[in-house]
Chain A
Amino acid sequence: MKYIHLKQIREQLRQNRFFTFLSLFGVSIPVMIVMIMIVKVELSINPGGPEKDNDQMLFLSRTKVRMEGDRAIGYVNLGIIEKYFSEIAPEGSLAFSRSTLTPVFLENEVLDVPIRYTNADFWDIFDFRFVEGSHYNHEKVRNKDNVVVISRNLRRKLFGMQDAVGETMELEGETYRVIGVVEDVTSLALNAYSEVWLPYTIKSFKSLDPGEIAKSAGGYRVTFRASEDWDFDQIQSDVERVRSRLNQINGEQAEILFGGPAPAAESYFRGFRDPETYEGNLLNYLALAGKALLILFLPALNLMSLNLTRIQERSQEIAIRKAFGATRKRMAFQIMGENAVLTILGGLTGLMMAYGVMYFFKDQIFAGFFIRNADQATIQINYVAFLLVMGVSLVFSILSGLIPSLRISRLQPAYVLKGGEL
């Protein structure tokens, strides 16, 4: 495209401000929505913070038990974890935790604070940054010590700007000693996020006999960390063997199923779904791509109708250009080139808008519905994805210029110069 064409496009855009605004709006909003969608999926798959190395982890958070005429779906029960998973997992490879909300009384208010009961290896597997003190070890967990690790945010609310290690706090009528303070964690880190962490043994619901264990769902999320000696395949086959053992105990009475253990992406797509109905990652990615395509395609239809109107307005100009030597092909390329420039401008505007919206509405967009804390989530635009989105938008915009361009190719300059309509 020659400089003069760009100059003319600039003039066209300047002179037809309403059209320019509509076109830019039509392109930038869908690009913004799709970019936010992509960032959200990426952040959900790898939320960073303590879970930043989750490509070495497998997650299991769904259990389904089928019984005659009945079924139960939930997290994993502690009996299975302690009796079976602890057996298969090498030292330091198994983290499990259960989270809930509990009221914490401050001077003038009551806060509903998320608390998480964990094992000791949880602290080795997830990469927390301690600003004070340290975490509880195996001994403290075994001894059911009333100790807690709290977030920097909660420390500020409870103790102001002072250090908190050694201080005490009340939780559900019990007194706990603070032994560590960690940097705040984004609530997108579903397996690690909380404001308070404490040994799971303090309040464990483990009174099931082996027969009950084999056919019960529970309340724990499980994370396996892979290593050279215990890779993903090995972990999955070991867990499958556990499942077979459980089903041997169940006999004809019941069947237990697990939604995993799965890598982060699959775990995200599985979400809270029934383990039996999971349709695979590919289909989920295709569904996402389908949504994105639809979002990008609808404005292209709008752009096409705008283009048709504009071509009508510009038919004289096109006829003049043809009179002075422009070919049909050249004119078609010019119209499509103008669309492409508008799309690129719209796309870049959309990208900036996506940044702005994600910055100002981080919690609303990324955090859970009830617990909103996405402050710690690091928003990173995936520029490869952006280029892909731009590519798709460009294809759509060029296609939207195709019909107007075809109409141009039929244009008889003499007819239009005499005042006829396209």
Chain B
Amino acid sequence: MIYLQNISKVYRTRNIETLALDNINLEIQKSEFLSIMGPSGCGKSTMLNVIGLLDEPTDGKLILDGVEINGHTDKALAALRNRKLGFVFQNFHLISSLNVQDNVELPLLYRKVSSGERKKLTEEVLEKVGLSHRRKHFPSELSGGQCQRVAVARALVGKPEILLADEPTGNLDSKMGEDIMNLLASLNKALGTTIVMVTHDRQLANQTERIIHLFDGRKVN
């Protein structure tokens, strides 16, 4: 499903060069639930961003669902992100000026889906995360756990094959974190969605099928 071959990422400023990812090789199977662990600054989020086409690798090859990502136009990358990928961020990253329903249907705006269909799909996914009664609320009116559930609904509404979650429970208390984790696990099982999760939390990582450890930009055993 996802292949990373000799992926490196270097951040350059005028005076400093930082090696964020160093020759990473990784293969992730379809429907796998995998977590990436490591200390702060080890390159976990960078790796997730590279897989999510939010950042370009400096070197190496990335293959997503059989498509080698190389020299794609902005439009092609946007289409891939829209069709194949869903994101859940630590800080939720909901759009404050949109209500829950409008936030959730965001990915559908960037494809040809009628408004009726958008509404139906949004309803379905909100039902799944247990927030259909909150669809007219704005993010500022929700708790952290509810915001993250909205973010998960948004990531899933377009039925992506791959869900990328960057510390999805990092800003939640343990009860809410557990809820989100259960939600992700059930989605993985029910829909066969491939999930790549970045986490600091060993307990959460243990609930996934495989753990990848990163240290100073390198994959370690």
Contacts and interface: CB of A to CB of B under 8 A. Distances in A.
B1 interface: no
Contact of A320 (B93, B109, B115): B93
A143 interface: no
Contact of B102 (A4, A323, A329): A4
Interface in B86-134: 87, 89, 93-98, 102, 105-107, 109-111, 115
Interface string B59-101: 0000000000000001100110111000101000111111000
A243 interface: no
A325 B111 contact: yes
Contacts of B110: 324-327, 330
B159 interface: no
Given A323-B54, A323-B87, A8 B102 contact: yes
A323 B82 CA distance: 8
B217 interface: no
A325 to B, nearest CB: 3
Contacts of A203: none
Nearest to A318: B95
Contact of B74 (A3, A324, A327, A418): A327
Contacts of A8: 95, 97-98, 102
A322 B95 CA distance: 12
9 contacts: A8-B102, A319-B93, A322-B78, A322-B81, A324-B82, A324-B107, A325-B110, A413-B55, A414-B55
A322 B83 CA distance: 13
B98 A417 contact: no
B81 A323 contact: yes
A412 interface: yes
A409 B110 CA distance: 17
Contacts of B98: 8, 11
A414 to B, nearest CB: 4
Given A12-B97, A413-B55, 11 more contacts: A8-B102, A320-B95, A322-B54, A323-B54, A324-B107, A324-B110, A324-B158, A325-B79, A330-B110, A414-B49, A414-B54
Size class of A's contact patch? Answer: 20 to 34
A280 B102 CA distance: 58
Given A4-B102, A4-B105, A8-B98, A325 B82 contact: yes
Contacts of A322: 54, 78, 81
A29 B89 CA distance: 43
Interface in A305-350: 316-317, 319-330
B173 to A, nearest CB: 23
Contact of B107 (A325, A417, A418): A325
Given A15-B97, A320-B95, A323-B52, A4 B109 contact: yes
A198 B55 CA distance: 87
B154 interface: yes
B111 A324 contact: no
Among B49, B54, B75, the most chain A Cβ lie within 10 Å of the Cβ of B54
B47 to A, nearest CB: 11
B49 A324 contact: no
Closest 10 CB pairs of A and B: A325-B82, A325-B110, A414-B55, A414-B49, A414-B54, A11-B97, A324-B107, A327-B78, A413-B54, A320-B93
B8 interface: no
Contacts of B49: 414
B148 interface: no
Interface in A1-32: 2-4, 7-8, 11-12, 15
Contacts of B82: 324-325
A320 B106 CA distance: 10
A417 B93 contact: yes
Contacts of B111: 325
A158 to B, nearest CB: 66
Contact of B106 (A316, A321, A412, A415): A321
B45 interface: yes
B74 A328 contact: yes
Interface in A212-229: none
Given A4-B105, A320-B95, A321-B106, A417 B78 contact: no
A326 B108 CA distance: 10
